Amino acid sequence: MDVKIFQFNGCNKCFNETLLLKLDTDNKIQFISEPQNWKGEKTEVAVITGYLLPSDKKNLEKIKTNSERVIAYGNCTTMGGIFALANQHGYEITPLKEFIDNQINVNGCLGEIEELKSLITGDEPSELKTLCEVCARSATCEYLDSVHRQIELDDNETCYNDLGFLCNGFIAKECKERCINYNTPCRGCKPMVKRSGIRMLGMFGTLMGNIEVATEHSEKGATDKLGDEEDDVIRSLPDILGNFFRFTLPTSGLPKGRITSSGTLLENVFTGRLIEELPLISGLLGGSKSISLTLKIIESYEKANQIEISEGTKKYREELLTLETDLKKALENENPKQYKEITNKIRKIAGNMNLSNIFFGGFKSKINENDTFDDYKTHVFDVVEGNYKNGSVEYTVDPNGIIKEITIIEG
Amino acid sequence: MRMSECEITDELIKEKIQDVVVFMCNECGQGSANTAGVARIGYDPSIRIIRVQCTGQIGPIQIMDALNNGADAVACVGCCLGACHFFNGNVLSMHRIKLMKKLFKELGYSDQFVNQYTSRAAEGETAVGDFEDIIERLSTAIKDEGTIKDGC
């Protein structure tokens, strides 16, 4: 079978993962990283990865007319993905279904390669359970007294939402990356319902029932009405967009964002997010660059605020950076076996390819059976206002822990 | 927040307010609207009342459906605080609407076109007063060019 894989814009994480298609197969696989220069030969299956802009329309139509089946692989293509958070600042990242019809979607950040494999060969992909069904934690769904922004690692049995951490597991399908196994609430990259963000917002609004909401006296009606002032409900969720619409902003049905944009598209993804979300977002941006970016963000903050790092943490972080250089080499050589080996090693330390395990001050879960976890365990840190800089990354944090400005020099 | 250079006059605002969807609960909300009808108190003709069992049924999905299908503003009118005929539907709805307001602010819009009110079934003026407040808030939102349908 003739398979062509196209990478449009974005982080290359899904595109890199498709290298694994080359393992044990008779299919003829071709990687095209510059679709604008593609001549347009007939092909059986076209796999599209990366986020799409209105300017990509012509190339997408060319792919559609020349291929029998089109598969959208990864969240950026199917729903907008993490990059679509830039739509808050007026960008127009658009999901594939707006350009062409009859495409097959493989959701996920990162999309699952097994699912893609079975779709290419034409097999039925296996039925997936909801994430809550496979989660080891149990829920009571009682009203919350407060919402917590940073995870505390003591309780392994109660549902994240019950503890007051925003977990998108309610609307998600089970996945391979499984952030919940590394003390990170689900990011919601594999939604099983339409308009998942809005549904999650309604659900969480209800859960917040015990948190006081501001009311005021209405002059005209002579009764009470919802107040306009800032209350505990608003303070509990400083960044609703980044929490509930992380991957689905263009398909959520919300109007287009009108906040004035400054800087590049990538910088706009980070602006307005919370400081504790930063390493989790940068972790999503592709294996071959994301590790160094994530560690740079974390280290600049740790250094400025005197968060102590243990020897164990340093050792694992160095190991990750070496793995990143190896990964780059494997990708240059297009060597799937080497790629698999290295990503497995990264997964062992960082939890998954989204680097869920890496955090400020250490790691969120035990890496090696023989380790003492306390050696490199993270703990809750204070949000400190200020400007942080480390090499190619510079960012400003406001008193609420929201990123006001960020500069990322790529390369 | 101003997006265009056109002048927004009072007539234009009046012209732009066409459909205001108000979800009223079957108990106090609808009750007070009925009382207002019996007492023949007039209110703005752009108000479109939708009867629901409890404002606790209304969440972001219903609000976005109304707005995406052409509503200029959405409001909920429920029972007074502590007087929900079920348990606490009016307060839960307030939480969700407060979050929706925050969400619109994050996207760069005004937060004045989604609101929640309470009313008393025995007093028709409370419902009509709420309607007046909805229109007033929507007018400020249009003036600031913060509504979803912007421009002249």
Q: At what angle do helices B28-38 and B124-143 cross, to 10 degrees?
A: 100
Judge if A63 and A103 occupy the same domain: yes
CA distance A10 to A7: 8
Judge if A211 and A315 occupy the same domain: no
Secondary element (H or E) of residue A49: strand A43-49
Please say if the pLDDT value at position B2 is more than 70: no
- Contact state of B60 with A88 under an 8 Å Cβ cutoff: no
Record the tokens describing residue A197, joined without a space. Answer: 């963000």
Q: Is residue A158 part of a domain?
A: yes
Residues in chain A: 411
CA distance A355 to A349: 9
A205 close contact with B: CB closer than 8 A: yes
Q: Is residue A137 part of a domain?
A: yes
Q: Is A138 exposed, middle or buried (0-12, 13-18, 19+ CB in 10 A)?
A: exposed
Contact B63, B72 (CB under 8 A): no
Of B59, B68, B88, the CB nearest to A253: B68
Judge if A284 and A409 occupy the same domain: yes
What pLDDT is recorded for position A287?
61
- Contact state of A88 with B1 under an 8 Å Cβ cutoff: no
Domain count, chain A: 3
What pLDDT is recorded for position A411?
56
- Which of A116-130, A331-345, B16-30, B128-142 bottoms out in mean pLDDT, i.e. has the lowest? A116-130
Judge if A99 and A133 occupy the same domain: no
Judge if A336 and A381 occupy the same domain: yes
Q: Which of A215, A238, A261 is the last residue of a domain?
A: A238
A30 close contact with B: CB closer than 8 A: no
Of B88, B106, B130, the CB nearest to A240: B106
Please say if the pLDDT value at position B148 is more than 90: no
Domain that holds residue A72: 2-121
What pLDDT is recorded for position A51?
94
A206 interaction partners in chain B (CB closer than 8 Å): 59, 92, 95-96
Is residue A77 helix, strand or coil?
Answer: helix
A230 close contact with B: CB closer than 8 A: no
Residues 6+ apart with CB under 8 A from A182: A351, A352, A356, A357, A364, A365
Is residue A280 helix, strand or coil?
Answer: helix
CA distance B102 to B106: 6
Domains defined for chain B, CATH in brackets: 18-139 (3.40.50)
User: Which residue type does B41 have?
Assistant: I
- Contact state of B117 with A257 under an 8 Å Cβ cutoff: no
A166 close contact with B: CB closer than 8 A: no
Size of interface A-B (CB pairs under 8 A): 133
Residue with tokens 């929490």, as numbered in its chain: A243
- Contact state of B108 with A220 under an 8 Å Cβ cutoff: no
- Contact state of A254 with B118 under an 8 Å Cβ cutoff: no
pLDDT along chain A (411 residues), means of 10: 91 90 88 89 92 94 93 93 92 93 90 90 84 90 90 86 90 89 91 92 92 90 89 92 93 91 89 92 82 92 90 93 93 91 92 90 90 87 90 91 88 56
- Contact state of A201 with B80 under an 8 Å Cβ cutoff: no
Q: Where are the beta strands (DSSP E) in A143-293?
A: 215-217, 224-226
Record the tokens describing residue B75, joined without a space. Answer: 């409001």
Q: At CB < 8 Å, which residues of chain B contact A?
A: 1, 3, 59-61, 64, 67-68, 80-81, 88, 91-92, 94-100, 102-103, 106-109, 111, 115-120, 123, 125-130, 132-133, 136, 148
What pLDDT is recorded for position A155?
84
pTM of the model: 0.93
Judge if A152 and A107 occupy the same domain: no
Instruction: State the CATH number of the domain containing residue A79.
Output: 3.40.50.700
Judge if A180 and A72 occupy the same domain: no
CA distance A199 to A197: 5
- Contact state of B1 with A258 under an 8 Å Cβ cutoff: yes
Q: Which one is predicted more confidently, A309 or B7?
A: A309
Using 50, 70 and 90 to split pLDDT, how confident is the model at B44?
Answer: very high
Judge if A300 and A379 occupy the same domain: yes
Q: Is residue A382 part of a domain?
A: yes
Q: Is residue A336 part of a domain?
A: yes
Record the tokens describing residue B117, joined without a space. Answer: 């009110």
Chain A interface disruption, residue of B86, B106, B119, B123, most A CBs within 10 A? B106
Contact A160, A185 (CB under 8 A): yes
What pLDDT is recorded for position A46?
94
Residues 6+ apart with CB under 8 A from A101: none
Give the CA distances from residue A187 to residues A131, A162, A363, A366, A376, in Å, rounded to whole numbers and listed in that order: 11, 16, 18, 21, 24
Contact B43, B134 (CB under 8 A): no
Q: Which of A73, A88, A121 is the last residue of a domain?
A: A121
Judge if A136 and A103 occupy the same domain: no
B81 interaction partners in chain A (CB closer than 8 Å): 215, 224
Judge if A117 and A136 occupy the same domain: no
Record the tokens describing residue B105, joined without a space. Answer: 């602010």
Q: Is residue A406 part of a domain?
A: yes
Sign of CA pseudo-dihedral A391, A323, A289, A150: negative
Judge if A199 and A326 occupy the same domain: no
What pLDDT is recorded for position A263?
85
Q: Which of A238, A262, A297 is the last residue of a domain?
A: A238
A231 close contact with B: CB closer than 8 A: yes
Q: Is A66 exposed, middle or buried (0-12, 13-18, 19+ CB in 10 A)?
A: middle
Distance from CA of B34 to the nearest CA of A (A): 15
Secondary element (H or E) of residue A64: helix A57-66
Q: How would you classify the pairing of strands A2-7 and A43-49?
A: parallel
Q: Is residue A44 part of a domain?
A: yes
Please say if the pLDDT value at position B3 is more than 60: no
What pLDDT is recorded for position B151?
62
Judge if A289 and A181 occupy the same domain: no
CA distance B125 to B27: 16
ipTM of the complex model: 0.92
CA distance A316 to A375: 12
User: Which residue type does A318 have?
Assistant: E
Long-range Cβ contact pairs of A373-381 (< 8 A, separation 24 or more):
A375/A310, A375/A311, A375/A312, A375/A313, A376/A310, A376/A312, A376/A313, A376/A316, A377/A153, A378/A153, A380/A150, A380/A151, A380/A152, A381/A150, A381/A305, A381/A307
- Contact state of A202 with B106 under an 8 Å Cβ cutoff: no
- Contact state of B96 with A223 under an 8 Å Cβ cutoff: no
The per-residue pLDDT for range B71-113, each reduced to its tens digit, is 999 999 999 999 999 999 999 999 999 999 999 999 999 999 9
A54 close contact with B: CB closer than 8 A: no
Is residue A163 helix, strand or coil?
Answer: helix
Using alpha carbons, select from A100, A12, A101, A88 the residue that is nearest to residue A51.
Answer: A12
Of A214, A225, A259, the CB nearest to B118: A225
Q: Is residue A339 part of a domain?
A: yes
Q: Is residue A338 part of a domain?
A: yes
CA distance A35 to A198: 34
